[in-house]
Structure 1
Amino acid sequence: MIPKIRGEHISVPIDDLVREAENLVRNGTREVILIAQDLTYYGVDLYGERRLNELIQRLADVAGLEWLRLHYTHPTGFPLDILATLRERDNICNYLDIPFQHISSRMLKIMNRGITREKTEELIRKIREEVPGVALRTTLLSGHPGETEEDHAELMEFLREFRIDRVGVFMYSAEEDTHSFTLGDDVPKEVKQRRFDELMQLQQTISLELNQARIGQTYKAIIDKRTKSSFVGRTQFDSPDVDNEVIIRNRDLRVGKFYDVEVTDAGEYDLIGRVAR
């Protein structure tokens, strides 16, 4: 549905994006999130080739930009040349949002995703090899037309093996004028709900284990807001509004500033920390 609503890909020239980033930083912005329907397509319509790597290198050169974050890098056509840039540039977050949607090759074919389980797993291994410590976010679709118990079991197996850092799960809902709508909604609502619950419960366990592994470590964090009892921030491994937060009970911190934060405790979706001394 999203491509239909948003239309064709239109790449903004690199120089224009750099100027916009410079203006943002000049006015106090410290984190820039690069987002598109599919970032990996950047440049094809404008330059005749994919130029995401050149774009992020130019943006990372903007003086005063603390964090550059990438959202929606589709696995099909993923530009591997960006991995060295992520690894080498300190101000590009070790974070990638890659919407896998499913892992069963049969389901990926039905969904017109243009990739297989083998290629997906190969990509994940390559990313983790080239960018140690990278946090991966993905979205999964449960109960898509044609999904069997075997397909669902594959998805569960995939989560157990690859332990993706951040996972959003959505239950399939039929939308008119989409490819999936023509397939019919053949998975009963109660089955969708059960599969959704199983995926979320598994990911909750994985998220807790991954977060607990960060206890005792110190990370750079940005402060997003203040509550009555604490400050709320994020590490480079988390995007605003959709990912984990770190709760910091120090006093006299400043919203929008960065601090080194030691993780002292962890829950399924939040870290607890204090400013490192």
Structure 2
Amino acid sequence: MVVTFANNLTMARLPPFFALRALEAAARHRSYSRAAQELAVTHGAVSQQIRRLEAELGARLFERRGNGMIPTPDAQKLAAEVARGIGVLSNAVDDFHAAAFRAPLVISLESQFANRWLPPRLQRMLAHPAGANLEIRVEERRADFVTDGVDMAVRYGAGGWPDVECVHLVSESLIPVCSPEFLARHQLKTPQDLLNVPLLHHGHRPWSLWFNTFGLEAPRQQGMLFEDSAMLLEAAAQGIGAALARSGLIEQDLRTGRLVRPFAAGVASELGFWVVWRADSRKVRRIEALRDWLMAEAATAGRTESA
């Protein structure tokens, strides 16, 4: 005959963590008041947690002596073990945060931003602490922060994307540009002058957006049509025609004189570049540092353009 015995021993249920923290702090300070200050709670809250702990453990934990609260020998031993456990947990949390700093910060960039806006600033970014240990991905599709391993992104659009935080980085306007040689050859002085010169067209930015602002009827589309902004600007730089460009993409071309603006007037666009990230990212401190650096660079560029 086989006899079996049921094991009725079970692991004791742990008291609430905050009650254990109250015990440890009160035993270390020998004062409920100083423990309360450390834990940012009231004296009554600490006293209540100690009474709750005494009820669960079935033993008195402190004795009052004058103005002090003296832990019993058993309470002192328990407090020491709680302190050791808190130390283990603190080290584990520190290691978790340290891992977030050791891993690359993955940033997804729209290609035009990566190829036009960022290059003049790339050396400064990499020299700044916020630019350390980056993995930069250039992609046209909208990266998924959950499945693609991306920590932050610079997106082009009107903002308002769901489930993410976003801040406006660069406003854009649509402005005519051409090569210096093209400007000299055609003597462009007024918006009407553009009605009589070769125009370069982009599939998503018709010239009518600009001409209508000045009460002019845009000419029928003739000449070269581009879907890629970089090719459009290259054709303009080669003197083939005037192009309607996004202001955020031509800063370097204007600075070097490769392209010029025949007129100061531009048409405001509702679209622009935005910094986007998830608020619950474990790398949020690094994200915010890089976001702040990008915004400072954009603000500097804005002041330079308006000067």
Q: Same fold (TM over 0.5)?
A: no
Q: Which has the higher contact order (CA 8 A, sep 6+)?
A: 2
- TM superposition score normalised by structure 2: 0.19
Normalized per residue, which structure has more helix? 2
Q: What TM-score, normalized by structure 1, do the two folds share?
A: 0.21
Larger radius of gyration: 2
